[in-house]
Amino acid sequence: MVTQRMSPEHIETFVHEHLKEDLRVYENQLKDINAEIMEYVQLKNMIDTILGRENHEEFKTQVNIGGNMFMKARAESVDHILVDVGLKVYATLSGFIQFKTSDEIFRKDSQAEAKIN
């Protein structure tokens, strides 16, 4: 027997009021995550280009200064690569990689412990 809760009108209302809004929120989150991934891919490609040079000589490039506006830049030394980790704080690339790797390992361990308990 079909109750009022299971009626097609009720189901349609539920889909439109709740599920579509949830889908919109998740799509926005996915878009933000994909944008962040693209930034990391660009960073990786730039680092590969820099480290692929024979004697780490000076090179010229363009830097995105925001709003897809670019400015010419010149790097005289690529001995140390600095990564902006937020709030205008910079860390060396090797230190940043160690931090992110240990942070990811800690998160996975925490998730494993939570599943066990």
| DSSP H stretches of helix in 15-69 | 20-51
Which range of residues forms the domain containing residue 22? 8-114
pTM of the model: 0.52
Domain CATH for 88: 1.10.287.370
| Predicted pLDDT of residue 83 | 78
Number of domains into which the chain is organized: 1
Model confidence pLDDT, tens digit, residues 45-71: 878 887 777 776 778 888 889 888 999
- For residue 45, being part of any structural domain is answered with yes
Burial 7-32, CB ≥16 within 10 A → b, else e = eeeeeeeeeeeeeeeeeeeeeeeeee
- For residue 42, being part of any structural domain is answered with yes
- For residue 1, being part of any structural domain is answered with no
